[in-house]
Amino acid sequence: MSKSLKKYNDKRHFEDTPEPEGILGNYGPKKKLQFVIQRHHASHLHYDFRLELDGVLKSWAIPKGPSLNPEDKRLAMMVEDHPLSYGKFEGIIPKGNYGAGTVEIWDKGTYEPEVNPYMNAEKELREELEKGSLKFILHGKKLQGSFALVRFKNAEENSWLLIKHRDQYATDKEYNPETDRN
């Protein structure tokens, strides 16, 4: 078992939940990195934002969900890495299990680093993640364009903000992922 997936596996009882077991995925040079956003109605409704990196899905829980409005700076709490196979998971996590509730895929697609998509994408993204300022371009069905994840300074290591950059996909209108679910 991968060290980065140990926390994921330790929180789950796979005989009681339909979630996939945490096994490190194949990774290495590839053309397109995947992202997925899952709407998770557990004890509280939130959205799980996941970016493929180094054979796992780096994951953030976003209580209010993502936004296409650059004025909305969404709290994003970094959580444990998830296996790549979790990116296809939809279903009901039974009561009594960690994260009990309904999980559905809200958006998915590919992503790339914003700064220089022609360099080693994963190396660049890994360095930005470690520095606490990750800039990327999403190519999803609902979310597209330039975004950033920025770690809070002088706060818990897992407190971040998800911010939409102003580009042709941004909106100045109020954005609610519950009503803008096309």
pLDDT tens readout for residues 136-166: 999 999 999 999 999 998 766 799 999 999 9
Please give the C-alpha separations between residue 138 and each of 49, 123, 169, in angstroms, as whole numbers: 12, 18, 10
* Nearest of 34, 58, 31, 60 to residue 47 by alpha carbon: 60
The pLDDT score that the predictor gives to residue 1 is 41
Helix runs in the chain, H state only: 6-10, 121-131
The pLDDT score that the predictor gives to residue 124 is 87
Q: Look up the pTM and report it.
A: 0.83
Please give the C-alpha separations between residue 167 and each of 49, 97, 153, 182, in angstroms, as whole numbers: 20, 41, 26, 20
* Nearest of 21, 1, 25, 24 to residue 12 by alpha carbon: 21
Residue numbers in the chain where pLDDT is lower than 50: 1
The pLDDT score that the predictor gives to residue 21 is 66
Kindly give, in sequence order, each residue whose CB lies less than 8 Å from that of residue 94, ignoring residues fewer than 6 positions away: 16, 17, 100
